[in-house]
Amino acid sequence: MSDLPHKTIELNDGDAIAVIGGGPSGSFFSYFALEFSKRFDLDISIDIYEAKNFTKIGAGGCNHCGGIISETLVQKLSTDGIIIPSDIIQRGVNTYTLHTEQGQTVIDTPSHEQRIASVFRGCGPKGCTANSQRSFDNFLLGLCKKKGANVILEKISKAERIDDGIMIRSKKNGNKKYDLVVGAAGLNAQTLKMITGLCPDIIPPKTTRTYISEFYIGKDQVDSHFGNSMHVFLLNLANITFGALIPKEHYVTLVLLGKDIDDKTVKNFIASEQIKGCFPKNLDLKDAAPCKCYPYINVKAAQNAFNDRVVLIGDSAASKLYKNGIGAAYITGRAAAKTAIFEGISKKSFEKYYLPICKDLSLDNSVGKFIFFVTRFIQGSKLLKNGLLHMVIHEHKKEADKRLMSTALWDVFTGSAGYRNIFLRFLNPKLLLSFFWSIIVSNLHRKNYKINEKQQARTTL
**Shortest distance, position 37 Cβ to another protein, whole Å:** 13
Q: Which of 71-79, 293-301, 382-390, 450-458 is the region at the interface with another protein (rule: CB under 8 A)?
A: 71-79
* Beta carbon nearer to another protein, 135 or 191: 135
By CB under 8 A, name the one of 76, 161, 176, 209 that touches another protein. Answer: 76
Q: Which of 287-295, 330-338, 393-401, 447-455 is the region at the interface with another protein (rule: CB under 8 A)?
A: 330-338
By CB under 8 A, name the one of 74, 301, 321, 422 that touches another protein. Answer: 74
Q: Which of 106-114, 180-188, 316-324, 450-458 is the region at the interface with another protein (rule: CB under 8 A)?
A: 106-114
**Shortest distance, position 168 Cβ to another protein, whole Å:** 28
Residues whose CB is less than 8 angstroms from the CB of residue 212 and which lie 6 or more positions away in sequence, other chains included: 64, 65, 66, 253, 254, 255, 256, 292, 293, 294, 295
Residues whose CB is less than 8 angstroms from the CB of residue 448 and which lie 6 or more positions away in sequence, other chains included: none
**Shortest distance, position 356 Cβ to another protein, whole Å:** 11
Report the C-alpha gap between 120 and 123 in whole angstroms: 6
β-strands 291-293, 296-300: how paired? unpaired
Residue 202 in 3-state DSSP?
coil
By CB under 8 A, name the one of 3, 13, 41, 113 that touches another protein. Answer: 113
Please report, to the nearest 10 degrees, the dihedral formed by the alpha carbons of residues 251, 257, 262, 263 taken in order: -30
Site for another protein in 21-60 (CB under 8 A): 36, 39
* Beta carbon nearer to another protein, 78 or 131: 78
Residue 338, interface with another protein (CB under 8 A)? yes
Phi and psi, residue 14, nearest 5° = 90, -10
Element holding 426 (H helix, E strand): helix 419-426
DSSP alpha helices (H): ranges in 261-311?
263-270, 273-276
* Beta carbon nearer to another protein, 42 or 116: 116
Give the count of residues interacting with another protein (CB under 8 A): 29
**Contact criterion met (CB below 8 Å) for 337 and 33:** yes
Report the C-alpha gap between 47 and 57 in whole angstroms: 24
Phi and psi, residue 184, nearest 5° = -130, 40
Site for another protein in 212-271 (CB under 8 A): 249
Report the C-alpha gap between 376 and 99 in whole angstroms: 14
Residue 142, interface with another protein (CB under 8 A)? no
**Contact criterion met (CB below 8 Å) for 341 and 326:** no
Residue 90, interface with another protein (CB under 8 A)? yes
* Beta carbon nearer to another protein, 319 or 438: 319
Residue 332, interface with another protein (CB under 8 A)? no
Report the C-alpha gap between 134 and 90 in whole angstroms: 8
Residue 117, interface with another protein (CB under 8 A)? yes
Amino acid at the residue 265: T
By CB under 8 A, name the one of 46, 89, 144, 358 that touches another protein. Answer: 89
Q: Which of 69-77, 233-241, 321-329, 424-432 is the region at the interface with another protein (rule: CB under 8 A)?
A: 69-77
By CB under 8 A, name the one of 14, 43, 83, 146 that touches another protein. Answer: 83
Amino acid at the residue 256: L
Element holding 20 (H helix, E strand): strand 16-20
By CB under 8 A, name the one of 3, 4, 5, 86 that touches another protein. Answer: 86
Residue 175, interface with another protein (CB under 8 A)? no
Binding site for another protein (CB under 8 A): 36, 39, 72, 74-76, 78-81, 83-84, 86-87, 89-92, 111-117, 249, 334-335, 338
